[in-house]
């Protein structure tokens, strides 16, 4: 089956502190958008590891996922290119660690911001995806699933014959 459909797997962190949520402002092909710290799953990492990495890269905070809030799918058509993409997003909540103020943020990230639910709702038209608000709502409603639901076989940490070695990651 040469044209097999494959959704893009992403991870996202829902981080609350003092009734404010950590979001990032990022430049996209569709302009400036708001998103929870999020990104793609890289080779040789679990969704949990990817989530911790993305929070550090996009918001300069250490983050330890402690629960899965939900798994979300959405379809997106890029305004400028017409690309039709489906995303499968694992959203986590967890413990916020140290802030690394001098750390450079990922390319395209303008800044990290702390917003109330009301401020996020007022800017819903700027959200990168409709699942941002949906996952925050699920978090606020107490939806939590044990991280043991996500299993990764050791084979994901090895590389196929002839390819470059994957980066070293903690299990």
Instruction: Note whether residue 127 is domain-resident.
Output: yes
Whole-model pTM: value is 0.88
* Whether 65 contacts 91, CB under 8 Å: no
For residue 59, being part of any structural domain is answered with yes
pLDDT digits (tens, 9 = 90+) for 52-61: 999 999 999 9
| CATH number for the domain harbouring residue 98 | 3.90.79.10
pLDDT tens digits, one per residue of 70-108: 999 999 877 777 778 899 999 999 999 999 999 999 999
CA dihedral 149, 153, 158, 163 (to 10 degrees): -80
pLDDT of residue 60: 98
The total number of structural domains in the chain stands at 1
pLDDT digits over 103-143, tens only?
A: 999 999 999 999 999 999 999 999 999 999 999 999 999 99
Residue 162 within any structural domain of the chain: no
Q: Does 139 fall in a domain?
A: yes
Is residue 141 domain-resident?
yes
DSSP result, 96-110: EEEE-TTSPPPTTEE
Is 166 within a domain? no
Q: What gap in Å lies between CA 74 and CA 83, rounded to an integer? A: 14
**Residue 31's domain spans which residues?**
8-157
In a domain, 70, yes or no: yes
């Amino acid at each position: 089956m040469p044209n097999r459909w494959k959704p893009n797997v992403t991870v996202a962190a829902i981080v609350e502190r003092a009734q404010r949520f950590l979001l990032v402002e990022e430049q996209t092909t569709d302009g400036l958008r708001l998103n929870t710290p999020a990104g793609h799953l890289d080779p040789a990492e679990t969704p949990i590891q990817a989530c911790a990495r993305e929070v550090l890269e996009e918001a300069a905070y250490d983050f330890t996922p402690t629960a899965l809030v939900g798994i979300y799918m959405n379809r997106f058509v890029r305004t400028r290119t017409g690309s039709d993409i489906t995303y499968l997003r694992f959203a986590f909540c967890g413990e916020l660690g140290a802030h690394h103020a001098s750390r450079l943020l990922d390319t395209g990230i303008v800044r990290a911001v702390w917003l109330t639910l009301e401020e996020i709702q007022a800017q819903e038209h700027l959200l990168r995806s409709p699942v941002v608000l949906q996952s925050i709502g699920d978090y606020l409603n107490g939806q939590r699933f044990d991280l043991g639901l996500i299993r990764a076989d050791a084979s994901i940490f090895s590389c196929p014959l002839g390819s470059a070695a994957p980066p070293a990651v903690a299990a």
